[in-house]
Amino acid sequence: MNILWKDLGIPTDSFHEVRVECTDVPKTKFKIKQSAFSLEGHLDIGQTLGRIYRGGIHPTIRGEVWEFLLGCFDPKSTYEERKEIRLTRREEYGRLKELCPYMFPLVGSGKFITAPVITEDGTPT
């Protein structure tokens, strides 16, 4: 069954809270549905995009959906392939973060200003 939302047993009202001043609003009637992945972990991107267009993305899976929308993962990838890709990217990020001070020593020192400083007379320097 390919449906967009994961059911985590969390009431939907906790994500879409009613404002305090609106006390007479009835509880929501929609349910959190299963995600659009097959048992192997493949994503039906066409169906998913249609559901996103019509109803948005549930907060519990928003990060995972964005990874597909931004092209980080192939829709035909499996859970295990995506897990491996994430691990590889985290290791690469850590390596690059360690190299950053050697590439440009002022990064993180507080001595590098990327925006112009506005003087008292209002002119940028």
Establish if 125 belongs to a structural domain: no
pLDDT at position 83 is 93
Give bridge partners of residue 124 from the DSSP assignment: 118
The 10 Å Cβ neighbour count of residue 38 is 13
Mean pLDDT in residue range 38-47: 75
Q: Containing domain of residue 24, as a range?
A: 12-103
Please tell me whether the overall predicted TM-score, pTM, comes out greater than 0.75 for this model: no
Instruction: Give the number of domains in the chain.
Output: 1
Query: Cβ distance 32 to 7 under 8 Å?
Result: yes
Establish if 30 belongs to a structural domain: yes
Query: Cβ distance 8 to 58 under 8 Å?
Result: no
Establish if 119 belongs to a structural domain: no
Establish if 113 belongs to a structural domain: no
pLDDT at position 100 is 82
Establish if 115 belongs to a structural domain: no
Give tens-digit pLDDT for 15-42. Answer: 555 566 666 655 544 333 355 677 777 7
Give tens-digit pLDDT for 63-80. Answer: 888 888 888 998 888 889
Give tens-digit pLDDT for 99-124. Answer: 888 887 777 777 776 777 788 888 87
**R_g of the chain, CA atoms, integer Å:** 22
Establish if 96 belongs to a structural domain: yes
Establish if 114 belongs to a structural domain: no
Establish if 118 belongs to a structural domain: no
